[in-house]
Structure 1
C-alpha cells in the first residue's frame, strides 16, 4: 500500500530543529538576531549549550504521546540544511564563523522518528531552510535574503541533504515522506524550481521506494495549475503536492471581518481544494494552516496597521469565532489527502499553538 492512501491529520513541530523568533522569543531576548543563522553567528560558541537545551525540552517524548492521544497520526518536522553538520556552503551572514550552526540536530531527528514509531505517528521531514535562503523569511534560515536559486553550490547542497536523509531513514517505519523545499518564494523561477524538484525526486528514489516513502513538493506560492502535468504517474509515483493557507498576511484578509474569514475558508478554499483534487492528478495536503488572524504577533517585518477580525470582541465572542474559523478550515482540508496545523507549540501566540487551541476549545479534543 502506498503511503498516499492514508489520510494525514497532523501538526508541524515548528521552531524545534529550526528556530523562528516569533515562536520562541525567549531564546532571542537581548540579541539582535532575527533567525537561526544570525542567532548562531551572534552567540558563537555559547549557542551550543543553549540550543541543545532547547532541543531537549521544547518537544519531548511526552509531546509525541499527547499528539497521538488526540487522534492525530502525523507530524511534519522542519529542518535546516545544516542538519548533518558542517559541510554546507558559506554565506556572508555567517560572519567570521565558517560553520556557525550547532551540531547534533541529526541525533534529535533520529530520536523524533523513534518516538513517532513508538506512538504510531507518520513523519514528513521537511527541508525548511536551504543554503542561501529560498524565501527571505526567518523560517528560511536567513531573513531578507533570497539567494538559494543564484548559486549552483546552494542547489547541490540541498540535493545532497535530501539524499542523505533518504539514505539514513529509508528503512525507518515512521518515515512517511520527505518534503523537497518549504515555501520557495514566488520570484524563484518556476523552471528552476521544477528542475530542482525532478532531480530531488531522483535522488530520493535511489534509496526510498515509492511504496513506502512519499516525495512532497510545495507550490512555491503559485497556482497549482502551473503544475498540471508535472511529476505524473507512471514515471513518478507517490508524489504529494503541498500548499499552505493563511488569512493574516495580505491587507485584503487583514481588513476582513470574521464572517468573511469563515466564508473564505469554508467556501473559497473548499472550491480550490476541489479543483486541485479534480485537475492536478496528485494527492494534495495543506501543510500549514492556523487560527492566526493577528499579523502583529507573527511578523518581524510588517509595518501595520495591525487591525484584525477579533480585536473588538469579548472573550466569549473570540472563543466562538476561533472555533468557527477552525471548523471551517478543517471541513475544507478534510477534502484533501491530509493537513498539518502550524504549529504544535509556541511561547506567546495561542492561535498558532495546537495545544493551546485544543485546551481552549478552539479545536477539537480529538481528531480521529
Structure 2
C-alpha cells in the first residue's frame, strides 16, 4: 500500500483508508509519557509541580537529563513490536503543551519538544501502528484535575481568551508539522474538556477545527465531548471528516469499585448497565451517523485475584459491547507502575525499590484521585463531607458534587502537594548512573506484563479482525 493510501478519513459510520478498506482503530493510550500522571509513574500531585521540586533537588540540567531518559525508556521499538504482536493497530499519544511552549514565552514554540514525538510516531509507523495525537494538558487547564496538569480545581482555559489563542496557535504548528504523515490517524484536539457553562466549547471547537484545517485539510479530527468526554448535547451537526470520541469508564472498575455484577456507590452495575451507559455516551455519534471511538476505558486492578477477575470480566463485556456497535477503542493505559497498565514496572526494579515505601504512604493518604481510596483518611475527610452537607446543602459543584469536591481539595491538593517535596527528596544524592537506572526501570525489557489483560486483548483482536 502506498503512503497516500494509508491516510484515514471518515466514510459514513467508519474510518477507511485510501483504498476504501474499513479501519477500526483498536489500541492503547500512552499515558504517563509526554503527559505524566501521578498514579502512572508514582509521583504525587501534578506533573509541573513535581518537575519543579525534582529540579530543585537535582538542579535544572540533571533533572532535564533524567526526564529525557525516562521519556526515551518509556516507549521504544520493543514496545511497538509488542503492541503489534497483540493485533493492535493504534497508539493514542497524550501530550502536555509544556513540551512545546513555555508559559514565560507564550506563542514561542520549543522545537525540542518534538524530538520524542517524532521518534515515537516513526517507531509506531515502522510497526504498522497508527498514532492519534492527543492534547491532554492545555494552557490554563481544560478540566479540574491532575491529568490536565492543573494545580488547582479550576479549569481556567474556558474563561481566558489568551489560553484559547495559545492552543489554536499550538495546534496549527502541530498539524502543519504532521500534515503529510500517513501513519498519523488524526488529531485529538482536547482531552476530556470540562466547560462548566457548556456554552464556550461548541464555538471554540468550530474555531479550532477551522484553524487546524487551514494547515492540514487531510487528517481526521477527533473531538472529545464535554464533561470529561461523556456529553455531546451542546454540539450541532458534525464537521466533515470528524470523529467524536467518548470515554467509557465503568463505575465498578474504579479503584473504589464494588463487586461486578454488584453495587458501587449505591448503583447496580452489570453488563446491561455497561451497555446502557455506553449507549448514553455514544448517542450523538449514532444519531449523526458518524464513527464511534471510545478514546479511553479500562478498569483499575487491585492485586486481589478475585476482584481482578471481576475487573477482567468488565473488560470482556465492554469489548463485546463495542463490537456489537462497531466501535473502535483505545484502552487506558499501556504502561505504569502496576495500577492499570498492560505493561508495568517490576517490584524489584530500581525505581520501585527507591519509591515503594513512598507509594505506600501516598496510598495511605489517598493522595491520588485515580489510584487510591479514602480508606486511610476517612476519619479526616468524613467530618468535612458532613460539614459541607450540613452547611451548604444547596451547593452542587460541577462536575461531581460536594463529596468529590471535598476530596479534590483535601486529598488531591492539600495532601498531595506537600508530598511532591518528599518525592523529590528521594532523588537527593543519586549519581547519574543511579538516575539512569531509575529511568531504565520503565524500559520494555525491564517491565512485567499483565498477562491476563494481554490475552484478552490479543484474543479479541484475533476473533474480531
TM-score of the superposed pair, with normalisation by structure 2 = 0.63
2:338 aligns to what?
A: 348
1:11 aligned onto 2:28: yes
1:165 aligned onto 2:163: no
Mapped partners of 1:57, 1:185: distance in 2: 32
Mapped partners of 1:132, 1:249: distance in 2: 32
Structure 2 spans left out of the alignment, 5+ residues: 1-7, 17-22, 263-268, 345-448
Mean Cα deviation higher: 197-206 or 2-11? 2-11
Mapped partners of 2:83, 2:28: distance in 1: 8
Residues 241-296 of structure 1: CA distance to partner in whole angstroms, max 9, x if unpaired? 11112234999x956431144425643235336744431333221100112276xx
1:42 aligned onto 2:53: yes
Distance 1:103 1:293, change over 3 A: same
Q: Is the 8 A contact 2:282 2:292 kept in 1?
A: no
Mapped partners of 2:122, 2:248: distance in 1: 30
Note the C-alpha offset of 1:227: 4.2
2:147 aligns to what?
A: 139
2:40 aligns to what?
A: 23
1:364 aligns to what?
A: 457
Mapped partners of 2:90, 2:41: distance in 1: 23
**1:1-368 paired onto structure 2 within 5 Å:** 2=9, 4-5=15-16, 6-25=23-42, 28=43, 34-44=45-55, 45=60, 46-86=62-102, 104-144=112-152, 145-187=154-196, 189-210=197-218, 213-221=219-227, 224-227=231-234, 229-231=236-238, 236-248=239-251, 254=256, 256-260=258-262, 261-264=269-272, 266-272=274-280, 275-292=283-300, 315=305, 317-334=306-323, 335-349=325-339, 352-355=340-343, 359-361=451-453, 363-366=456-459, 367=461, 368=465
Note the C-alpha offset of 1:83: 2.8
**What is the SS of the residue equivalent to 2:36?**
coil
Residues 323-367 of structure 1: CA distance to partner in whole angstroms, max 9, x if unpaired? 321110101223244110000011131xx1123675135623342
Structure 1 spans left out of the alignment, 5+ residues: 91-98, 295-310
Question: Which of the two has greater helix per residue?
Answer: 2
Mapped partners of 1:270, 1:35: distance in 2: 30
Q: Is the 8 A contact 2:134 2:188 kept in 1?
A: yes
**What is the SS of the residue equivalent to 2:212?**
helix
Mapped partners of 2:103, 2:232: distance in 1: 37
Mapped partners of 2:76, 2:230: distance in 1: 37
Q: Is the 8 A contact 1:13 1:345 kept in 2?
A: yes
Q: Is the 8 A contact 2:142 2:195 kept in 1?
A: no
Residues 206-250 of structure 1: CA distance to partner in whole angstroms, max 9, x if unpaired? 12234xx1111111227645145333xxxx211111111223499
Q: Please say which structure displays the higher CA radius of gyration.
A: 2
1:298 aligns to what?
A: none
Mapped partners of 2:307, 2:147: distance in 1: 28
TM-score of the superposed pair, with normalisation by structure 1 = 0.79
Mapped partners of 2:110, 2:206: distance in 1: 31
Mapped partners of 1:226, 1:322: distance in 2: 30
Number of residue equivalences: 324
2:423 aligns to what?
A: none
Q: Is the 8 A contact 2:221 2:241 kept in 1?
A: yes
2:369 aligns to what?
A: none
